[in-house]
């Protein structure tokens, strides 16, 4: 019997994602067989951290599954691997910044989020764990992935949110152009500017980090 795919967490700031498209950065120890990559190696050094080949291959498989489920055309394997690795590098930099800033998600908040995800899918926590297990995942592994995503969200809100400013003129112009209420205009404009500032900030922290990309090294 096919297992039921369960939406549980969106990448970045959104909180809705299917198990067929797992969030970034899931550790290979949780989701891949140890026999799959018997000889692991470092594919990128990021400041004091490292990204392993097994982690990269695990993520590439996840992205391929997600794109296939959405009937998207897959890029060449080498290009896909490069893009995925760059995303993992950016995430590793952010996690390091979060650790340096003392950002952390406590178990109380984590439990609340996990329970909320299960309830949104009409399941108890026990049922949610059973569905994860049927998909070859563990509740403990998914909990840590949710913790990681929440940590990234906290960091991005702290570093990017303060950069976003809206003028009254911008809001009124948006209301006239789109024919929406003030609150909707403010939310839409804030999200648009926040995304723009996030891209700028990510480029900044990427340029300031020490990164040794060893993907093509043999």
pLDDT digits (tens, 9 = 90+) for 44-97: 999 999 999 999 999 999 899 889 989 999 999 999 999 999 999 999 999 999
Q: To which H or E segment does residue 211 belong?
A: strand 211-213
Is 175 inside any structural domain? no
Is 142 inside any structural domain? yes
Instruction: Report the alpha-carbon distance of residue 218 to residue 216 in Å, rounded.
Output: 6
Number of domains in the chain: 1
Domain that holds residue 63: 19-161+198-213
Q: What is the CATH number of the domain that holds 96?
A: 1.10.4030.10
Instruction: Please tell me which residue, 23 or 157, carries the higher pLDDT value.
Output: 157
Is 80 inside any structural domain? yes
pLDDT at 69: 86
pLDDT at 11 over 50: no
pLDDT digits (tens, 9 = 90+) for 105-130: 999 999 999 999 999 999 999 999 99
Is 51 inside any structural domain? yes
Is 9 inside any structural domain? no
pLDDT digits (tens, 9 = 90+) for 170-187: 999 999 999 999 999 999
Nearest to 98 by CA among 143, 152, 46: 152
Is 31 inside any structural domain? yes
**Contacts of residue 143, Cβ cutoff 8 Å, sequence gap at least 6:** 110, 114
Percent of the chain with pLDDT over 90: 70
The top-scoring range by mean pLDDT among 84-88, 136-140, 158-162 is: 84-88
Q: Exposed, middle or buried by CB within 10 Å (0-12, 13-18, 19+), for 114? A: buried
Is 7 inside any structural domain? no
Instruction: Please tell me which residue, 32 or 82, carries the higher pLDDT value.
Output: 82
Is 14 inside any structural domain? no
């Amino acid at each position: 019997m096919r297992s039921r795919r369960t939406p549980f967490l969106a990448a970045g700031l959104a909180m809705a994602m299917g198990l067929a498209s797992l969030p970034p950065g899931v550790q290979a120890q949780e989701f891949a067989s140890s026999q799959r990559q018997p000889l692991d190696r470092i594919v990128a050094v990021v400041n004091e951290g490292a990204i392993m080949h097994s982690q990269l291959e695990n993520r590439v498989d996840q992205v391929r599954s997600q794109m296939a489920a959405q009937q998207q055309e897959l890029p060449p394997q080498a290009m896909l691997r490069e893009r995925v690795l760059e995303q993992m590098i950016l995430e590793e930099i952010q996690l390091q910044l979060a650790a340096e800033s003392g950002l952390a998600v406590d178990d109380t908040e984590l439990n609340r989020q996990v329970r909320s995800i299960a309830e949104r899918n009409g399941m108890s926590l026990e049922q949610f764990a059973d569905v994860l297990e049927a998909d070859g995942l563990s509740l403990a592994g998914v909990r840590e992935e949710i913790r990681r995503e929440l940590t990234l969200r906290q960091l991005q809100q702290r570093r990017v949110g303060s950069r976003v400013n809206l003028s009254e003129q911008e809001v009124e112009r948006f209301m006239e152009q789109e024919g929406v209420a003030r609150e909707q205009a403010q939310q839409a404009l804030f999200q648009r500017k926040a995304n723009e500032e996030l891209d700028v900030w990510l480029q900044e922290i990427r340029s300031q980090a020490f990164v040794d990309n060893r993907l093509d090294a043999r």
